[in-house]
Amino acid sequence: MKPLHIETPLFESRPLSIQAGRSVWLKLEALQPPGSFKIRGIGHACQEYVQRGAKRLISSSGGNAGIAVAYAGRHLSVPVLIVVPETTSDRAKALIRQEGAEVIVHGDSWQEANELAESAVGESDVLVHPFDDPLVWQGHSTLIDEVAGSDVKPGALVVSVGGGGLLCGLVEGMRRNGWSEVPVIAVETEGADSLAQSTRAGHRVELSAITSLAITLGAKKICQRAFDCTRDHPLHSVVVSDRAAVAACQRFLADHRVVVEPACGASLAAVYDGAPEMDDFESVLIVVCGGATTTLEQLEEWADGNV
């Protein structure tokens, strides 16, 4: 079956390379049809579940995952129910409904929304977890296949981390392509930094609340496999401020004419602002994970002091 995601552009960014003093490559997942990398893993999982007989897809999401499940359901001709927390923007809800899915708003965070989604699963339904599912990781791993197939092998991979699904998939793809020695620079925003806190503590840490405006990084606890990746793959944890993430989104828009959300801006900020964790690498690849839920007007409001 043809995948639901597309092969996205890969190129060396001249503005970022000059700024960073090293070769900076971009994998533009913001150009996926639903607006983010999520369709890689979620599309693969949805296709597999429908092939196994699922009659309805249910998921929980702060935005991008829900849009991806709704997109997949429309293309697979099955109904979709997405439960979103109260923090989800009107734009995100509209984009999910635009794909024909039903939306229920519940809870203060993704965890509460997910609990309701789990309780709604009937006999012929399948719960599509937004990040903690081996099928989702398998789909995300195709990103590395595309990069490796282009004969590009960076010194390090820079990626934003929320629940950890993308991280799990990238590590899977790196192993498959003989990149086990290539480190991951995992970037989070302050207030959504469960990976960083877990790494320091030596065990998974659950945040008491998500206080970052990068709400799509807003899983209070990373999945177990993502935590395992911090131990069995070279990884450097970086935490940036919301303000730095928003500024990076604006700089990226000026440099490459693409609007991305603060969750994506986190990884861009690490490169724009020269995080010391990159000092040892002559080249890096940023996964420009995207995000369809942020507008230019929102970025301007945040930059004007609402951060």
Structure tokens at 153: 């092998």
Contact 220, 193 (CB under 8 A): no
Position 306 pLDDT exceeds 60: no
Q: Whole-angstrom Cα distance, residue 261 to residue 67?
A: 15
Q: Is 58 exposed, middle or buried (0-12, 13-18, 19+ CB in 10 A)?
A: buried
Residue 287, strand partner residues: 27
Position 211 pLDDT exceeds 60: yes
Which run of H or of E encompasses 238? Answer: strand 235-240
Predicted pLDDT of residue 45 = 98
Predicted pLDDT of residue 214 = 72
In this predicted model, what pLDDT tens digit does every residue of 235-276 receive, in sequence order?
Answer: 999 999 999 999 999 999 999 999 999 999 999 999 999 999
Predicted pLDDT of residue 108 = 84
Position 216 pLDDT exceeds 80: no
pLDDT band at 87 (very low <50, low <70, confident <90, very high): confident
Length of the chain: 307
Mean pLDDT of 155-174: 97
pLDDT band at 213 (very low <50, low <70, confident <90, very high): confident
- Kindly give, in sequence order, each residue whose CB lies less than 8 Å from that of residue 284, ignoring residues fewer than 6 positions away: 20, 22, 23, 24, 25, 154, 155, 156, 157, 158, 185, 271, 278
Tell me the percentage of the chain whose pLDDT exceeds 70.
98
List phi, psi (to 5°) of 286: -100, 130
β-strand 10-12 against 23-28: which pairing, if any? antiparallel
- Alpha carbon dihedral 157, 161, 164, 166, in 10-degree steps, equals -50
Predicted pLDDT of residue 172 = 98
Contact 235, 134 (CB under 8 A): no
Position 40 pLDDT exceeds 70: yes
Rg of the Cα atoms in the chain: 18
Q: Classify residue 153 by its DSSP letter.
A: -
Predicted pLDDT of residue 111 = 83
Position 307 pLDDT exceeds 60: no
pLDDT band at 62 (very low <50, low <70, confident <90, very high): confident
Least confident of 110-114, 186-190, 234-238: 110-114
